[in-house]
Structure 1
Amino acid sequence: MKAKIIYQHILFALILLLTACDNELQPYDSKSTDVALATPADIQIATYGNYAMLVKEAYTRHFLTLNEWPGDNVVQSGADGDQASLGASYLHIPAMYPTTDFWAQSYKLIYSTNLIINKITDGESPLLDQLKGENLFLRAMAHFNLVRLFGRPYPQNKGENPGVPVVLGSDEELYPARNTVKEVYEAVIADLLKAGNLMKEAKNANFASKEVVDALLSRVYLYMEDNENAILYANKVISSNRYQLASTEMYKKSPTLVPETNPETIFNFRHTLADNKDKNAVGSLYYNDPETLSTGWGEYYTSEALWDLLNENPADARLAFITPHYIDGVLQYRGTSPQYFINKFNWQEGIANLASPVYLRLAEMYLNRAEAYAKTGKNQLAIDDVNLIRTRAGLSGSALYTVTALKGRGSVLNVVLEERRLELAYEGHRPGDLYRNNLPLVRAYPGLHGTDNFHFRVEPSDPRVVYYIPEREVNINRNLIQNP
């Protein structure tokens, strides 16, 4: 762990040296943090560096694949070289590189935010308060994203299961133990509440702002089953009037847009042209241009179950995010899986695999609120929010729900969870939505599922609902107890 902390010092130094072109270039180990972060300009540059950590492959790609592939919206069509597929098949190993790299990148980000957070005294200036708030948001998000992958869902054992280490300083215990899931959530909420109080500037969706904080608080409280607060913070975002649902036509084209031009985007991992990962980007895993078959790998498709669900209403705008691969009118297959390419992470600014994945958007706020309404007996309000999202998807008439006409879904909560599946597909929500609601994963459709290519089931109590702590970390840190 000590070696890792030294490495993190070096990494942070490189960010400063590479981005601060006007600064005197000298070895960072000859400079204290006080010198490296001496001015507000230095702190601004370092904060830009922290945002830049999100667009690294070790963060964006692994965040999306590790969170999405264990669900039932995406199907693995065959063998491939990405070890995140071990998550898709629930054949995890402690040494898989996606979890190893994501853990390391996350704590690099946390360490770098700590240097700034602990450098700034509240109230020094509006600019420094804003920057401290942005770094508090990034630290909270990093801890929350980690505990979702490596700690069991909060409702299981009321958050008392092992989570991940909460690291709030740059000189903490060299071998931190795992905090409980509850303790991680408490630290996340504390950071977000403070961040919201410090930030006054209404920045665009590439940066944190008070509304970004409120949006993440809505998600965090929903996952804790604190439904009243989930509603409260969703309402704060909605009533801010900073965001509007994109029109149906804009929504269908949303992957191609520069994200800050989309009125629905609250926060995204902003990738510029210079950040294009091409065939290492997450979009290349889902999509391959059917005309040329040269733009990507295209080995993970929309599952047949999701395809069939969307096609219950052929006018559903969310079908626009799927590109079936036909040759001479015949649907193509890889193995047993129909090639329903996913294009939700493609064609930003006309570049095949360029995308700025959205982390928070307004549609989620309506669906967070709808789920919380359903769980607190406010069924009509829940249905109203669901119908708002369906109407934006181009649906009307009999495709909408009423409290007394649930179309065989059984309950208003089931309606909401299904709408979350449709609306937030591929964005990293589905497995968590199932397991935090004590629901099993059921794959009754073709695909490479691990043990059965046509029938596969995972209970929410299964050990592999969460990933192993990376083997490298357990070997270095004697206080990290491995997941069973």
Structure 2
Amino acid sequence: MKLTLFYTPLIAIALAVSLYSCQKYYDPTEFINEEGALKNEADVGTTTIGTYAVLKNAAYVRSGHFLMEYPGDAVAQGQSSGDDLTKAYRYTHINTSEHCSNFWSQAYKVVAAANKIIAFVPDDAGAGLLQLKGENLYLRAMMHFNLVRIFGRPYPQNKGANLGVPILREGLSDEESASLIRSQVKEVYDFVISDLLKAAELMTEDKSNSFASKEVAYALLSRVYLYKEDNINAIKYANLVINSNRYSLLQGNEYAGYFQSLPDNNRETIFCIRHTKVEDRNMSSIGSMYFSGDVSGKPLGQGVSGWAEIYASKKYYDFVGQHPHDLRNGFITPYIENGVLQYNQKLTPTTPMYYVNKYSRQEGQINLSSPVYLRLGEIYLIRAEAEAKVGNDAAALADVNLLRQRAGLVGNELYNASQVQASGKTMLDIVLEERFLELAFEGHRAYDLFRNNLPMERNYPGTHSLNNTPTTDIHQIVRANDNRVVFYIPQAEINRNNKLNQNP
């Protein structure tokens, strides 16, 4: 059977020794033939494990991170790279971007695999099969949401009427899936919400944070509704997650070591892409771009354990450093030798090497990490932003202060209404600043700005200065209505399907 634009479901099975009940998944090792592959719950469980495994592919998780995080202002690239991640950072996008092609193809591969199971399991099946169907609905929703964020404009622009991405439903023929048009952003959001609501209804098992569950669906619903500016529903689903009591904010040393701890035991993580010790990607990991050092966390020069060319921006470093005892300072490791901060010398002005350690040293391995997609800290900030937008400033302030207290801030470092008023800032400004502090390097910042019609402003050293004449000018402003706040549809996909319209 031919391979179409959307990767006609080649569904990976796990190693023969794996059992779905163990809640572990492995790299795909072979493919199931489409005809008659799924016969029972064990088959569905095994193929679902294979679908989760696709998320760990560097073409998905690493390329996706570059596309989601590097357009923000919490990061600074200290040198140009032959990899087109530089173009993602500088907003000099091209329609042949390897990372866009990688992400597009891997995301639709997950969707195609999920569709096979969604079509196979009837809505009157037993609880075990319905749980698995719900997990695949969640995965399909997650893929479409990430795709529409990367390739479709923010929902508030034109009320969702701009072009989004093709919606790949179950039951389509090869010919139909190979000739889909781009649905509107609104249509994609509606599809994602429908899938998540049904997924939450079907899932009844509390699984580890490497797998979908009812609360995982609720958490993504709260984010989707926030992006859609449906603030009442954003609050509703954030409350369902918070009040489930399945999760809790890590405190003190546990919070300081959040990203180095065993993911399965992390009470704050709602959903992560779990990598085990044997799945260390070394120099091909996300963390290798941010950090180079030894197993103790001591920073060393570029190339020792990682490329170390993407740093915390001076803007972010100075902002979080306003309170030196803020625990979030610990997620940055300045590269200091003999008491002197080191600078990447490949640009003028030179770039301070503030290493980021959110993707390093999980379980004592330098480049190992399990990227967190949803966590409780974000859910409180979703609720805070939505409350601010409906005028419930006191509720928004309470959630912001909860996270500031958790970070070790006390006294007048916590906000009260009179402080906010005296600052000249709105409550929304306060929430977005807290999102900047709390969620830095996790793929949120550019979306937070553009969906709120705010510009992305850089005024610090980095390769974005290469856009300017002279190149010593470090200023860059990207406005929310700029064409390049979204990426080009991969040209290879348009060549296969001429019904796909390109972004301007």
Same fold (TM over 0.5): yes
Q: Could you tell which deviates more after superposition, 89-98 or 288-297?
A: 288-297
Which residue does 2:4 correspond to in 1? 4
Q: Tell whether 2:423 aligns with 1:408.
A: yes
Which of 179, 187, 190 is the aligned partner of 1:186? 190
Aligned pairs for 1:186-265 (under 5 A) are: 186-265=190-269
Residue of structure 1 in register with 2:25 after alignment: none
Shift of 1:398: 1.2
Match of 1:126 in 2: 127
- Alignment partner of 1:443: what SS? strand
**Deviation (angstroms), 1:63:** 1.6
CA contact (8 A) 1:100 1:470 kept: yes
The aligned amino acid for 2:333 is T
CA gap 1:20/1:175 in 2 versus in 1, 3 angstroms: farther
- 2:324 partner amino acid: P
Provide the rounded CA distance (Å) in 2 between the counterparts of 1:385 and 1:403: 13
1:7 offset after TM fit, Å? 5.1
1:454 aligns with 2:469: no
Match of 1:19 among 15, 18, 39: 15
The C-alpha deviation readout for 1:332-377, integer Å capped at 9, x for no partner, is 0013110000000000111100000100000111100000011011
SS at match of 2:3: helix
The aligned amino acid for 1:419 is E
Deviation at 1:5, TM superposition (A): 5.6
CA contact (8 A) 2:299 2:334 kept: no
1:271 equivalent to 2:272? Answer: no
Secondary structure of 1:350's counterpart equals coil
Aligned to 1:332: 342
Gaps of 5+ in 1: none
1:40 aligns to 2:24 (yes or no): no
TM-score, reference length from structure 2: 0.92
Equivalent residues of 2:6, 2:108 under 8 A apart: no
Give me the whole-angstrom Cα distance separating, in 2, the residues matched to 1:249 and 1:107: 39
Does 2:351 correspond to 1:347? Answer: no
Residue number in structure 1 paired with 2:401: 387
Decide which of 464, 473, 478 is 2:493's aligned counterpart.
473
Partner AA of 1:237 in structure 2: V
**Letter of the aligned partner of 1:133 in structure 2?**
G
**Counterpart-to-counterpart distance in 2, 1:468 and 1:220:** 22
Q: What letter is aligned with 1:67?
A: M
State the secondary structure of the residue aligned to 1:246: coil
Structure 2 CA distance for aligned equivalents of residues 56 and 326 of structure 1: 33
- Mean Cα displacement is larger for which, 390-399 or 442-451? 442-451
Instruction: Please list, as runs of the form range in 1=range in 2, the aligned pairs for 1:37-436 lying within 5 A after superposition.
Output: 37-172=38-173, 173=176, 174-289=178-293, 290-293=298-301, 294-335=304-345, 336-406=350-420, 408=423, 410-436=425-451
SS of alignment partner, residue 477 of structure 2:
strand
Deviation at 1:479, TM superposition (A): 0.5
Rounded Cα–Cα distance in structure 2 between residues aligned with 1:462 and 1:96:
19
d(CA) in 2 for partners of 1:476 and 1:94? 14
Change over 3 Å in CA distance of 1:192–1:28 after alignment to 2: closer
Q: Which runs of 5+ in 2 are unaligned?
A: 20-29
Alpha-carbon contact 1:440-1:460 (below 8 Å) kept:
yes
Q: Distance in 2 between matches of 1:246 and 1:321?
A: 15
Secondary structure of the structure 2 residue equivalent to 1:479 = coil
Contact 1:20–1:45, Cα closer than 8 Å, also in 2: no
C-alpha displacement at 1:291, in angstroms? 4.9
Q: CA deviation at 1:328?
A: 1.1
In 1, distance between residues paired with 2:433 and 2:424? 9
Distance apart, 1:62 and its partner CA? 1.4
Change (3 A) 1:139 1:7: closer
* Bigger Cα displacement from structure 2, 165-174 vs 316-325: 165-174
CA offset digits 1:218-241 (Å, max 9, x no partner)? 000000000000000000000000
The structural deviation recorded for 1:408 is 2.9
Percent identity of paired positions between Structure 1 and Structure 2: 49
Q: Deviations over 1:71-116 (max 9, x none)?
A: 1000111111321221100000000100001000000000000000
Per the alignment, do residues 346 and 240 of structure 1 end up closer, same or farther by CA in structure 2, a change over 3 Å counting?
same
Contact kept? 1:409, 1:415, Cα under 8 Å: no
Pick the aligned partner of 2:456 from 438, 441, 453: 441
Q: Aligned-residue CA RMSD in angstroms?
A: 1.7
Counterpart CA distance in 2 for 1:111 and 1:409 is: 50
Deviations 1:199-252 (A, max 9, x none): 000111010000000000000000000000000000000000000000121011
Report the secondary structure of 2:363's partner residue: helix
* 3-state SS in 1 of match to 2:59: coil
CA distance in 2, matches of 1:146, 1:363: 24
TM-score (norm 1): 0.95
Q: Determine if contact 2:5/2:496 at 8 Å carries over to the other structure.
A: no
Contact between 2:456 and 2:478, CA under 8 Å: does it hold in 1? yes
> Alpha-carbon deviation of 1:6?
8.8
Return the letter of the residue paired with 2:431: V
Counterpart CA distance in 2 for 1:82 and 1:310 is 30
8 Å Cα contact 1:316/1:393 also seen in 2 = yes
